[in-house]
Structure 1
């Protein structure tokens, strides 16, 4: 390989879907909410799978439910916030995976194409990468294994990978996803109705 060549890395990457919250503002766990006849938890798993993740883990808590095509990870501390789900999920990723892509169940406009772009950045050598929308860092996020301990230590309360992304910004590759996805999330019934409308499907 010449000095000007870009290394193509193909170690396996896992998907990690965070779906443990109670959805207090919505009045029910978001994981179980249906959009177009598909639960948000199932949609999130499918997005990570179709995006190229070789295995998907789902962190559950308030709604301990069955998931298909994924490995369920129960977070007994889910009520303390997102940070505990990040820690539980990272701890559960099998040893054979070199990196993980973290996504949230309540962002149904994140697409497999966004996941694919993060995977491509990883194949080109990125060890940490984040989807950006109009220049703003959101989700999903790719984290190489060597960064997991730092993310684990910094995740707390309702904060996940954001402190790591800020503290180690020089290591993070931004990946523009404006044209293929949106980070809009579901917090309220109004959010759900609006996003379901954008998806062209009814909600339940």
Structure 2
């Protein structure tokens, strides 16, 4: 989708994991490589928001010949809301829809992203969210009309904080594996088990 802006949140320091989750290797590639390459397959406009371990992560992307736009969030320690705001603030096309991805959801594949894009194009909702089985989460796609909500997030606030106000104009796609993310050493062990 030519006009779609994709923002990948990759600024956290992975305190519970003890190592940068963005650089955990899965199926021969780091998690940040997986999500960045998938994002670049559906849009040429991909922004990665970095904070902790920024130089190592950017170097890893460059080594993989992946060249998304890099935005550094100096306030990354204050929480995810600041990274969303930093990413959205950096976008020059104010009329583009915005998709937000995380760097630690190994189950996110291009077919899920295309499913969300096609639903957005066909039905024109204000938000397309993933349904984890009764709980909505990322990936999420936002129309330009919702941009202002993303720009006023702060601290640990994510998009879930304003989803209730858009319940009538939010559509969902099923994504049962949305709850599978990498936060602890045990999550990495499980990831290695699923390697093949």
CA distance in 1, matches of 2:25, 2:143: 32
Q: Which runs of 5+ in 2 are unaligned?
A: none
Aligned partners of 2:126 and 2:166 also within 8 Å: no
The count of aligned residue pairs is 187
Structure 1 range deviating more: 90-99 or 17-26: 90-99
TM-score, normalised via structure 2 length = 0.88
**Which ranges of structure 1 fall in alignment gaps of 5 or more residues?**
1-9
In 1, the alpha carbon distance for the partners of 2:157 and 2:180 equals: 17
The residue aligned with 2:170 is 172
Structure having the higher helix fraction is 2
2:90 to 89, 92, 98: 92
CA distance in 1, matches of 2:68, 2:87: 13
The correspondence of residues 38-117 of structure 1 with structure 2, limited to 5 A, is 38-50=29-41, 52-65=42-55, 66=58, 67=61, 68-95=66-93, 98-117=96-115
Distance 1:162 1:96, change over 3 A: closer
The secondary structure found in structure 1 opposite 2:162 is helix
DSSP-derived class of the 2:16 partner: coil
- Is contact 2:51-2:76 (8 Å) kept? yes
Instruction: Give 3-state SS (helix, strand or coil) of 1:157's partner.
Output: coil
Contact 1:14–1:97 (CA under 8 A) maintained in structure 2: no
Residue matched to 1:195: 191
* CA-atom RMSD in angstroms: 1.8
Distance 1:199 1:94 in 2: 38
SS at match of 1:156: coil
| TM-score, with structure 1 as normaliser | 0.84
8 A contact 2:130–2:178 mirrored in 1: no
Aligned twin of 1:7: none
1:32–1:40: 8 Å Cα contact kept in structure 2? Answer: yes
